[in-house]
Amino acid sequence: MNIMNYETVAFDEQKDALLILDQTKLPAEVKILRLTEQKNIWQAIYLLQVRGAPAIGVAAAFGLYLAAKNIRAATWKEFFPPFHAAKEYLNSARPTAVNLSWALNRMEKIAVDNQKKSVPEIKELLRKEAAAIKAEDIWMCRQIGEHGLTLLKDGDGILTHCNAGQLATSKYGTALAPIHLGRERGMNFKVFCDETRPLLQGVRLSAFELMADGVDTTVICDNMAAQVLKNGWINAVFVGCDRVAANGDACNKIGTSGVAILAKYYGVPFYVLGPTSTIDMSIDKGDEIVIEQRPAEEITEMWYRQRMAPQGVKVYNPAFDVVDHELIAGIVTEYGIARPPFRESLQEIFRKKFLG
Ligand code: MRU
């Protein structure tokens, strides 16, 4: 069993079911969930059975196709209201990663643009669009890998936070794509994975997939990052992102901002890697990004044999934080690397995307 050979999100065309590699069970157990009901798909996203910005976008796109398929409607007028309600429902699963609404809006646009067609034709177009979103995700990640690899040399030490690897996307990942691509080319890196409290994506997922790819992997608790940077073991920090604002402020897993501040102090370049679908040019600055708050139990009792916090204690559990753009050396996208000042360079990336 090599986790790199499993698909994070897949679609069973014969049986019309969404297949998800249940990430809450990793690394102990490889379990594939077969989902057809909206409630279960919503729950899989909320519970992080599927997680990582691009992967939840792909899962939601197939989820919305499944919702559309089950709508009994003869006309567009009958079809659209329940379809739109299903879209809003899936969109409510997690607020921060823009890829979720990006993928769902893209699906809705296909339906709206083709409303003159028959309902079965619209459903078929939706199935194709979801498959296209997944195929593009693979392409984008590979391109991010190519651009990110230009920032590394053989033998480099890299620090990463959370999991922005293959398990968070359809293939390769974003922050970990250059490492996987480098491995394909015979390169070796020393990767340090922050454990990533409270849900442990770094130790459970990044370490697991990097080791499966033969990467020299070391896990550290989040509070050890300063020591590792001070030791001089890190040449670059690579992290993913859930939403990037027009000024370059980048929202990612809670703890990322602290790593960026440490990297600046120790003079190590801090890179954010993500597809253009994660860049939200409608948001001017990071403080406009809605930060998901998660249940207290994730901190007080999950992962422990017994509860570790006194009963009744207050808990603050934001799932994400925002890295100030001034701490970021570059934002690596499928269309190249944006450098400061980001307002201009991100616009240039979108010019390349739309005008070629
Ligand atoms: O809460 P999660 O596990 O979905 O958070 C994931 C992250 O923060 C990732 O770094 C981000 O989504 C980028 S994934 C390519």
Ligand 1 atom nearest to 252, measured from its CA: 8
Average pLDDT over residues 37-42: 98
Query: 294 CB less than 6 Å from ligand 1?
Result: no
Three-class secondary structure of residue 262 per DSSP: helix
- Letter string b/e over residues 137-149, b meaning 16 or more CB atoms within 10 A of that residue's CB: beebbebbbebbb
Q: How confident is the model at residue 12 (pLDDT cuts 50, 70, 90)?
A: very high
Chain centroid to CA 317: how far?
A: 19
Each residue of 171-219: pLDDT tens digit? 999 999 999 999 999 999 999 999 999 999 999 999 999 999 999 999 9
User: Token digits for 153?
Assistant: 């040399």
Segment 120-124 mean pLDDT: 98
Domains of the chain: 3-141 (1.20.120.420), 144-355 (3.40.50.10470)
pLDDT of residue 356: 84
Instruction: Enter the DSSP assignment of 280.
Output: E
The Å distance, Cα 80 to ligand 1 centre, comes to 31
Contact 53 CB / ligand 1 (< 6 Å): yes
How many angstroms does the Cα of residue 55 sit away from the middle of ligand 1? 9
The verdict on the CB of residue 275 being under 6 Å from ligand 1 is no
Q: Is the CB of 170 under 6 A from ligand 1?
A: no
Give the pLDDT confidence of 328-352 residue by residue, as tens digits: 999 999 999 999 999 999 999 999 9
- Name the band, by pLDDT with cuts 50, 70 and 90, for residue 1: confident
Q: Compute the average pLDDT of residues 307-330.
A: 98
The pLDDT tens digits of the residues spanning 126-147 come to 999 999 999 999 999 999 999 9
Q: How far apart are CA 174 and CA 240, in angstroms?
A: 6
Instruction: Tell how far the Cα of 32 is from the centroid of ligand 1, in angstroms.
Output: 20
- The per-residue pLDDT of the chain, averaged, comes to 97
Q: Residue 269 and residue 180: Cα distance in Å, rounded?
A: 20
How confident is residue 20, by pLDDT bands cut at 50, 70 and 90? very high
Question: Which amino acids are annotated catalytic?
Answer: 242
User: pLDDT (tens digit, 9 = 90+) per residue, 75-108?
Assistant: 999 999 999 999 999 999 999 999 999 999 999 9
209 CB contacts (<8 Å, ≥6 apart)? Answer: 3, 4, 163, 165, 166, 167, 173, 176
